[in-house]
Amino acid sequence: MYLCKLIMRKVVYILVWVFALTALGCSTEGGDSRGDSVDNVVARVDKHVLMREDVARAMPAGLVGVDSATFVRMYVDNWVLSRLKMRRAEEVLSSYEKDIERLVEDYRESLIMRQLDQYYIDNAIDVEITDKQLSAYYRANSASFKLDHNMVRGVIVKAPRTFRNTSTLSTALKGVQKSGSTEEVAALVEKHKLQLTDHIPRWVSYSDFLSNLPTERSRSYVDLLDKSGVQQMTTDDALFYFIIVDVARKGSVAPLECVEGDIRRRLYAERRSEIVGGYEADLKREAVEAGRVMVKDTVLLNAMSYRPDTTNTDAVVREATEHIDEPEVAVEIQE
């Protein structure tokens, strides 16, 4: 039974394949401009001919059986439709032909120039961004990193109402504020099988921090940001001890850790722009010096031929100054 089904599938595939490759070709007369016989013609629309070899080149590797026959039928159908649409476009859009040709050429040129830009970028860009470069950019552009929400770093410990070792837990949480380490708290949590939410390593929005506490939607809890030391909330079955170590308030400069990714993207974009701008300036200057460019606007021509003064050390001094260690932008820290 299985053998019969396999034979039938192969017969169906062969019939579909033969139909797809020859049915349209049998209705044509003569060969195409390449001198192929009518048997090799798969489809014809007006003066355009689709040959068997064209379909074979387009077929993805690995297609077999009915899949390959299906691909042939879809490919031929799309080819016929494309040729018909192009012919209709010539008839309907004849008045727009020059505009379309211009748009196509503009798009072609933009693609080529984009590839040229990428060629220079790939061969010149330095992808490494140091901590000093991050800090320098952060200090110079701190005004553009204002927060639109409160952010905090802190720790939350959830314990059952029956938990009695609260003084030890409070002491451990106070130690987090002094040392910045949660090791002691983590050990206590593990020993008594409590639940720890550690937001010390990474800044989080205050709303995310509050989502781990039994808060009410109607309250903002902004007042908690003004309190220092260990704070507590309770429910019928649990105790929540927490401490907010650092606060970055809405409207203040975001901590560097929060905007590091954004700064890296900006610096990378600036480097790309500098590389492209540099080679474009070189192209114009070299062409002007070689007499390949004529511009009646003398101001513009002089700008094209401008050669920067490489003996000017102001830029080098400025860059070095930016890399000198300076105090970080202050972020409010709870005592």
pLDDT digits (tens, 9 = 90+) for 204-224: 999 999 999 999 988 989 999
Return the pLDDT at 32: 45
Most confident of 17-21, 31-35, 62-66, 311-315: 62-66
User: Mutual orientation of helices 65-92 and 2-22 as an angle, nearest 10°?
Assistant: 20
Return the pLDDT at 101: 85
Q: What's the N-to-C CA distance of the chain in angstroms? A: 83
* 173, amino acid identity: L
Tell me the average pLDDT of the chain: 83
245's CB contacts (< 8 A; 6+ apart) are: 152, 153, 154, 155, 176, 177, 180, 200, 333, 334
Q: What is the mean pLDDT of residues 37-62?
A: 88
Looking at the predicted structure, is the pLDDT value of residue 190 above 90? yes
d(CA 279, CA 184): 57
Written as six digits, the tokens of 274 are 């500098």
pTM above 0.85, yes or no: no
39 or 126, which is more confident? 126
* Sequence spans of domains, the chain: 2-92, 95-124, 125-142+254-330, 147-248
Looking at the predicted structure, is the pLDDT value of residue 186 above 60? yes
pLDDT digits (tens, 9 = 90+) for 5-19: 444 454 444 444 444
pLDDT digits (tens, 9 = 90+) for 266-306: 999 999 999 999 999 999 999 999 998 888 888 998 999 98
Looking at the predicted structure, is the pLDDT value of residue 31 above 80? no
3-state secondary structure of 235: coil
Looking at the predicted structure, is the pLDDT value of residue 235 above 80? yes
Looking at the predicted structure, is the pLDDT value of residue 67 above 70? yes
pLDDT digits (tens, 9 = 90+) for 78-94: 999 999 998 888 888 87
pLDDT confidence band for 258 (50 / 70 / 90): very high
What are residue 241's phi and psi, to 5 degrees? Answer: -105, 135
Return the pLDDT at 11: 41
> Beta 151-160 vs 48-51: how paired, if at all?
unpaired
pLDDT confidence band for 64 (50 / 70 / 90): confident
